[in-house]
Structure 1
Amino acid sequence: MPTSDTLRQLALAFPETSEQPHFDKTSFRVGKKIFATLNVKFNRATLKLSGKDQDLFCLYDPTVMYPVPNKWGKQGWTQIDLGKVPDEMLKDALRAAYCEVAPRRLAKLAERDGL
């Protein structure tokens, strides 16, 4: 299972990504847009997915990946239990989140390079 360091390493591998504080969490951004946050205290990540991707990833196991339980969840924000999610699924979900908010040219680079 991935660690917070694994998530950080994967997120920062995407083109033009930065790591910045976001309240009591760490955020990963492309430009000024957040595509993921990391909550080390609860060993959880939150990703910005499209509605379609959120539905697909949450089918795996609702105790591993699930919509944020409020209006943010309806906008695609999805929580991931880092102690339970398989490494490859985390990588795929991070790529989907990055591509959801990144400018089209950067999203194409990430998809092309298999990041």
Structure 2
Amino acid sequence: MTPENVRRIALELPAATEKSHFGKPDFRVRDRVFATLPEDGNAVVKLTRDQQEMMCGREPALFQPVDGGWGKQGWTRVILATADEAALRSAVVTAWRNMAPVTLRKAFDLAGG
């Protein structure tokens, strides 16, 4: 997968926008960042700590906590070179759901998202 795949998947989600976070592209829902594209060619998504532990434990070649305090807050690196479409979509959608307001999440879920 590529950063362009991340961008496409993220921007397909309701109310998602692309902005910039510390000079790097990021994706937001109602101005809350749910994913970023750092310069290393991977993606970073905002998971809960439980989601992060599960995903990193199950697929350590694909998901890794971000170093330092950000990783302890659930920010998780997605290694795009090893990701497939389903895994990337799952991670990005999960991050979007974590940051989206309840009313938007409910509308998305009712629409089959």
For residues 112 and 65 of structure 1, what CA distance do their matches in structure 2 show?
A: 29
Match of 1:107 in 2: 105
Match of 1:8 in 2: 7
Unaligned runs of 5+ in 2: none
Match of 2:51 in 1: 53
Please give the per-residue CA displacement for 1:58-86, whole angstroms capped at 9, x wherever unaligned.
12332321111211111100001111112
Unaligned runs of 5+ in 1: none
Match of 1:81 in 2: 79
Amino acid in structure 1 at the alignment position of 2:42 = R
For residues 54 and 9 of structure 1, what CA distance do their matches in structure 2 show?
A: 23
Please give the per-residue CA displacement for 1:30-80, whole angstroms capped at 9, x wherever unaligned.
1111000012x4211110001121112112332321111211111100001
Aligned residue pairs total: 113
For residues 103 and 14 of structure 2, what CA distance do their matches in structure 1 show?
A: 10
Give the direction of change, closer, same or farther, for the CA distance of 1:55–1:104 in structure 2 (3 Å limit): same
Aligned Cα root-mean-square deviation (Å): 1.4
